[in-house]
Amino acid sequence: MPSLGGLLKKRRTKDSQGNSKELESNSNSSPAAAETQTSPVPAEVPANSSNSAQPQSSANNPHSSSSNAIQSSDPSATSMQHVVAQNQQATHSNSGHQHQQQNSNVASIQNIINAPQQDGAHGATGNNGQQNHQPQVIRSDARSTKGKYTLDDFTLQRTLGTGSFGRVHLVQSKHNHRFYAIKVLKKAQVVKMKQIEHTNDERRMLNRVRHPFLITLWGTWQDSRNLYMVMDFVEGGELFSLLRKSQRFPNPVAKFYAAEVTLAIEYLHAQQIIYRDLKPENLLLDRHGHLKITDFGFAKECPDITWTLCGTPDYLAPEVVSSKGYNKSVDWWSLGILIFEMLCGFTPFWDSGSPVKIYENILRGRVKYPPYLHPDAVDLLSQLITADLTKRLGNLHGGSEDVKNHPWFAEVTWDRLARKDIDAPYVPPIRGGQGDASQYDKYPEETESYGARGEDTHGHLFPDF
């Protein structure tokens, strides 16, 4: 029988019944810009197609040679390395946990704990402050859909990741020489796995969103075999890899990542978008150690109710497993699972890696909280990982504010966090802006060459690419 350790190391794949019965709806939300980013091809490329997206921002000079700051030895990097080393030896004992907490991330984490109250009305109020923050919606110009990319615009490099439906490559733009990530999906496989609607949604949802903790989509195209999505290359690797190396995160580290995810979920829900695939494999670290959520393969515009069984088994809410209609609150359930996994190193319903057993456990709903968890964490988790939708935090009258105001998050200064004004607990050891993919696992490379011409039997199914 495989060991728990062996199974936990594997990245988890999605589950989807494919044939969605989801309610369609309209939205009037617009994408928004939060930071300077650079388009991989010149903005003045003639618009020879309407089926690709290219965000426009006055700050984006595609020919700019502005240097990318290279991360040097940030003290917080060293402190997290201690955590990794300590955790590799740590037992799951109470004293071990406290020891890790004392030693980890002191400088960085103190920025979220008792941060200076210099932000006037927006500062944290300390204990469960009841300020009524508006959801962190960062808006700017809507993206235009000028321009079109082709494979010829990029030099293809190694594979960064593979998932249930796609393969993601590191690429370099031949125009501005910057590095990007391109997700390639085989159309025949998407059709076979009944993911046409999800794939079109992935592209549409990604095109709409703009937030500091969400991946940026620059454009898409297709050839006769494949679909291509150009995104920013997020250099620091998956949170999944960091978590498995660390075994589990100390309370303040888990809190930092959970808080950034909370802001991203809050933003998506304000846009009427449900994410549905929260898990450490989809959370990437940028060069400074802040999170970027990638993989919008199950993101969906959903102002009310939807029914599709999709997500990753460990992270599914009971109402999804039991094929009831469900709403955005499934993302708050998944946030609970994510926090649990960060603090414990395993998910609460994990059971020998078998999805059926995991589903049975989810429906049974019994969660065993290890004694080393902080009481505030247990309190928050029990209010997120609850089948009772009238009690689930995030789904109540106060919405995301209830989550943000929970005592476990009391030290977080949310507006500073949203501005990335709080140092991350761990800075990935990479050379920024150099196409350094050292934080990503190696995968066997794709043998089929891209750019096929020839007959295209599925192209009409993907009109937006």
Ligand X SMILES: Nc1ncnc2c1ncn2[C@@H]1O[C@H](COP(=O)(O)OP(=O)(O)OP(=O)(O)O)[C@@H](O)[C@H]1O
Q: Helices 239-246 and 75-89: crossing angle, nearest 10°?
A: 50
Q: How far is the CB of 438 from ligand X (least distance, A)?
A: 12
Q: With CB under 6 A as the rule, give the number of residues binding ligand X.
A: 24
Q: Is the CB of 79 or the CB of 282 nearer to Mg ion?
A: 282
Structure tokens at 23: 């309610």
- Footprint of ligand X on 181-200 (CB under 6 A): 181, 183
Question: Which one, 231 or 242, has the nearer CB to ligand X?
Answer: 231
Q: Which of 277, 286, 314, 331 is the catalytic position?
A: 277
Per the CB < 8 A criterion, the answer to whether 229 and 217 are in contact is yes
CB of 160 to ligand X, least distance (A): 4
Instruction: Locate all alpha helices (DSSP H) within 374-448, ordered by sequence.
Output: 375-384, 400-404, 414-418
Nearest to 249 by CA among 384, 111, 101: 101
Kindly write out the interface string for residues 253-272 of this chain, putting x where it contacts ligand X by CB under 6 A and - elsewhere: --------------------
Contact letters (x/-) for Mg ion, 395-434, by CB under 5 A? ----------------------------------------
Q: Are 176 and 40 within 8 A, CB to CB?
A: yes
Length of the chain: 465
Name the residue number minimizing CB distance to ligand X: 163
Please give the DSSP secondary-structure letter assigned to residue 346.
Answer: S
Among candidate residues 282, 276, 263, 364, the one with its CA nearest the CA of residue 315: 276
CA neighbours closer than 13 Å in the CB half-sphere of residue 446: 21
Shortest Å distance, C-beta 182 to ligand X: 9
Q: Which residues does 69 contact at the CB level (< 8 Å), separation at least 6?
A: 287, 432, 433
Considering the complex, state which of residue 314 and residue 415 has its C-beta at the smaller distance from ligand X: 314
CB of 283 to Mg ion, least distance (A): 10
Residue with smallest beta-carbon separation from Mg ion: 295
**Closest CB to Mg ion among residues 9, 324:** 9
Smallest separation, CB 173 to ligand X (Å): 14
Contact mark string toward Mg ion, 264..283, x via CB under 5 A: ------------------x-
From the number of C-beta atoms within 10 Å of its C-beta (0-12, 13-18, 19+), residue 247 rates as buried
Element spanning 401, H or E: helix 400-404
Site for ligand X in 286-325 (CB under 6 A): 294-295, 297
Residue 295 C-beta: closest distance to Mg ion, Å: 4
Residue 97 interacting partner from ligand X, Mg ion, none (CB closer than 5 to 8 Å by kind): none
215 binds ligand X (CB under 6 A): yes
- Tell me how far apart the alpha carbons of residues 124 and 38 are, in angstroms, rounded to a whole number: 33
In this structure, are residues 259 and 424 in contact, taking their beta carbons and an 8 Å threshold?
A: no
Helix ranges, 290-328 (H): 318-321
**Angle separating helix axes 375-384 and 329-344, nearest 10 degrees:** 150
23 contacts 368 by C-beta, under 8 angstroms: no
Per CB under 5 A, the segment of 145-153, 158-166, 307-315, 411-419 that binds Mg ion is 158-166
Q: Which of residues 281-310 bind Mg ion (CB under 5 A)?
A: 282, 295
Cβ closer to ligand X: 157 or 382?
157
The Cβ of residue 340 has, within 10 Å, a number of other Cβ atoms equal to 26
Residue 362 interacts with ligand X (CB under 6 A)?
no
Active site residue 331: no
Residue 234 makes contact with ligand X by CB under 6 A? yes
The answer to whether 183 is annotated as binding is yes
d(CA 258, CA 264): 10
CB of 334 to Mg ion, least distance (A): 13
Q: For residue 230, which amino acid is it?
A: V
User: Segment 153-182, which members bind ligand X (CB under 6 A)?
Assistant: 160-161, 163-166, 168, 181
Neighbour tally for 105: CB within 10 Å: 27
Distance (Å, rounded) from C-alpha 39 to C-alpha 66?
13
> Of these, 77, 253, 284, 344, which contacts ligand X (CB under 6 A)?
284
- Return d(Cα 283, Cα 11) in angstroms, integer: 12
Write the interaction track for ligand X spanning residues 47-86; mark x where CB under 6 A is met and - where it is not: ----------------------------------------
User: Closer CB to ligand X, residue 56 or residue 157?
Assistant: 157
CA–CA dist 363, 357 (Å, integer): 10
Residues that bind ligand X (CB under 6 A): 13-14, 160-161, 163-166, 168, 181, 183, 215, 231-234, 238, 277, 281-282, 284, 294-295, 297
Mark the binding-site residues, compressed into ranges. Answer: 183
Catalytic residue positions, numbered: 277
Residues that bind Mg ion (CB under 5 A): 163, 282, 295
Mark the binding-site residues for ATP, compressed into ranges. Answer: 183
